[in-house]
Amino acid sequence: MTRLLALTVVAGLAAIAWGALSSRARVPLSALALVVSSAGAATLAVRVLATGTNFAWSQTNVLPLGGLDVRLTPLGALFVLVSAVVAIASSVYWTGYARHAMAGRSASASFALFTLSLLVVPMAGNVTTFLFAWELMALSSLILVAHDHARRPESISAARWYAVMTQGGAGAITLALVGLAAHAHSTRFSAIATASTHLSGAVASTFFLFALAGFASKAGVVPLHVWLPKAHAEAPGPVSALMSGAMVNLGVYGIILVGRTLLPQGPQWWWLVVSLLGGTTAAVGALYAATSRDLKRLLAYSTSDNMGLVLLALGASGLSLSTQHPRVASLALATAMVLLVNHSLFKSTLFLGAGAVHAATGSRNMDELGGLSRLMPLTSVTFLVGALAVSAIPPLNGFTGEWLLFQSLLHSLASHDVASVVAGTLAVAAMALTGGLTIIAFVKAFGITFLGRGRTERALGAHEATFSMRVAQGALALACVATGVVPYLLVGVVARGLAGVASPSISGWATLRLSSLSGALTPLFLSGALLGALALVAGWRTLVQRRHGFANVATLEAWGSGRHHQSPQMQYTATSYGEPILRVFDDVLRPDRDLDVSHVVESRYYLERIRYRASNEDVIERFLYRPALALLRAWARRVRVLANGSVHRYLAYGLAALVVILVILK
């Protein structure tokens, strides 16, 4: 197994080096190396999952403070496996995408570094290795977000937000982990976990909250999510797929690591907090996804939404654990993992599809697109699969996750504990609301972008993605279908991943059954029945058409109430599609609307033009971050008085500081 680790790291480093140095065949070769590296990591993870034993390797003299320490647990292996799958698809996709963008040296090297660090983070066995990999991941993705800064000024702003949030988060995580390590006198996670029993409640809670804040910001949890829609939207296609399909997962991994492994005896309120954060995140994410018109921004908010659902399951698991319902706790934890893996699969499919659309049309604004399904047939099918999966439509994989979540919440409500009941009811409400909003968001994303008629020249001039891009999208979409029809493929792997953390909670190959709780589902038979019924009805339709002598379907101009001219601009746009939701949730979203009517000079009864402007900026950014930033700026301006450029004044500050120190230390 050490050889596999070596293969992963060496191939990854080769990819970085080739990306940074070579000028010939830079992208294909470095992508090949990345595929090899990810395949190595995936094989390693599968071995760990299959045997159920940890894989450990360490090298103390590479890094200070405990050195490099790799300790791959089944849980970590689950995350490595998911990251590796997404990474392989993204790397293959990259070879085609590079014709459009992201072919430069810095971008290539950063992409390779990003991929490698994603694979290494869950392998970390001590604080030093973890933080080292975490920082590499943050920095390399930052470079990738900003890689197009010369052409797009927005990407600089996105990168700035991302940098601040990700470094702030990393700071909080560092504080928590280093604090824990200091208490345990060891940087090893295993030592921290055993030492944690001696930790006082308040200290443990402080560390947990710091870690939660840091990891939650990585997972896009409200109110620390503001970077996510910006960075995901600005990053190039394969990078946003990796970010959404692998990087945000690591935020959840961190929360499980700290909350369940390192500090296993946490009080109940930790998980109540997690639940509430999850519910809020899911609702806010879904609302903004339903009202966005930027395709990638929509996908990014939906990532927030899905991470919210994961946290709901995680919270329910923690709450059930503290109320002595271990079966429900195991079920909810398994649910969280299933939701997470599902999300990785369908969201990377969707982001790769969105990248293909962007590459083909140069636009992410759905109001400018339309009718792409005829020009990009395969991309449209894979995007549809992803969209239906995220909407939890059977028989795709999202449905299994949603069903499991409902079961977890149902059974967690069965306890008589107040916190569980309150959190459970809220969670079901949040889950149901986001379910409906997600359907709006993704019917819109697919329908407005791919169906109907092209709204602009850009949309009409689109072309299908290159072969390698199609392969990557198709493989991921197939994975969504396969894990949806036969959920055991997924549930079985998750059960092995949780082997050390929770007891097995779901069983059955064709039929999922909850162990010792009531509940069963059989997507395999259900999809069989659906297919059968579909064939039956299709047969009937063909038969009656033939019997009445109609050889073909009459293609007629779309019915527009007899008006003379129907232009593609008259179709509903993404903005108008989400408008009802914007109105219903007016009080929450507080959109800015502006109607400007100008009349012709001669008569007020004739209009010259009407201009309608609506902006739907993130309400948390507007009412939480902007005022905070303004305050900071005002404060900074006041402080500037202190620095007026006089050297004497600076020397005086130094003297004063010295005096103060002496007084304190006396």
Site for another protein in 512-551 (CB under 8 A): 518-522, 525-526, 529-530, 533-534, 536-538, 541, 544-545, 548, 550
Q: Of residues 285-304, which lie at the interface with another protein (CB under 8 A)?
A: 290
Query: Per-residue b/e over 547-556, b at no fewer than 16 CB within 10 Å?
Result: eeeeeeeeee
Distance (Å, whole) CA 217 – CA 179: 20
Q: What is the Cα–Cα distance from 332 to 569, expressed in whole angstroms?
A: 47
Q: What is each CA distance from 394 to 302, 397, 434, in whole angstroms?
A: 19, 7, 17
Residue with smaller CB distance to another protein, 59 or 425: 425
How many binding residues for another protein (CB under 8 A)? Answer: 92
CA distance 423 to 77: 30
Minimum CB separation of residue 272 from another protein in Å reads 11
Contact between 139 and 174 (Cβ < 8 Å): no
CB of 486 to another protein, least distance (A): 15
Q: How far is the CB of 386 from another protein (least distance, A)?
A: 13
Q: 193 to 252, contacts with another protein by CB under 8 A?
A: none
Among residue numbers 377 through 396, which ones bind another protein (CB under 8 A)? 388, 391-394
In whole angstroms, how close is the CB of 378 to another protein at the nearest point? 13
User: Per the structure block, which two tokens stand in for 148?
Assistant: 């197009």
Q: Which of 21, 584, 657, 658 binds another protein (CB under 8 A)?
A: 584
Closer to another protein by CB, 187 or 373: give it.
Answer: 373
Shortest distance, position 607 Cβ to another protein, whole Å: 20
User: Vertex 155, ends 153 and 156: CA angle to 5°?
Assistant: 70
Which one among 429, 607, 634, 643 touches another protein, defined by CB under 8 A?
Answer: 429
Distance CA 427, CA 94 (A): 38
Residue 409 in contact with another protein, rule: CB under 8 A: yes
Q: Burial level of 633, CB count in 10 A (0-12/13-18/19+)?
A: exposed
Partners of 506 in the β-ladder: 514
Rounded to a whole number of angstroms, the minimum distance from the CB of residue 394 to another protein is 5
**Secondary structure of residue 56 in the 3-state scheme:** strand
When the beta carbons of 117 and 397 are compared against another protein, the nearer one is 397
- Site for another protein, residues 435 to 494, rule: CB under 8 A: 435-437, 439-440, 443-444, 446-448, 451-453
CB of residue 561 vs another protein: minimum separation in angstroms? 7
Binding mask 585-604 for another protein (x = CB under 8 A): -xxx----------------
- Per the listing, tokens 């809020």 go with 280
What six digits make up the tokens of 490?
A: 């997924």
Residue 203 or 533 having the CB closest to another protein = 533
SS (H, E, C) 123-160: HECEHHHHHHHHHHHHHHHHHHHCCCCCCCHHHHHHHH
- Residue from 23, 61, 200, 561 touching another protein (CB under 8 A): that is 561
Shortest separation between residue 647's beta carbon and another protein, angstroms: 57
Q: Which residues contact 275 (CB under 8 A, 6 or more apart)?
A: 311, 312, 315, 316, 319, 423, 426, 427
Give the orientation angle of helix 488-497 with respect to helix 74-97, to 10 degrees.
130
341-370: contacts with another protein (CB under 8 A): 370
Nearer to another protein, 25 or 534 (CB): 534
Q: Is 370 left (phi over 0), alpha (psi -120 to 50) or beta?
A: left
Supply the minimum distance, in Å, between the C-beta of residue 200 and another protein.
27
Sign of torsion over alpha carbons 382, 386, 389, 393: negative
HSE, side-chain direction, 13 A CA sphere, residue 362: 7
Among 175, 568, 620, 621, binds another protein (CB under 8 A): 568
Rank residues 545 and 598 by Cβ distance to another protein and give the closer one.
545
- Identify which of residues 62 and 544 has a Cβ nearer to another protein in the complex: 544
201 vs 580 by CB, closer to another protein: 580
CB of 247 to another protein, least distance (A): 29
Residue 170 or 524: the one with the smaller Cβ distance to another protein is 524
Query: From the list 143, 164, 186, 579, which residue makes contact with another protein (rule: CB under 8 A)?
Result: 579
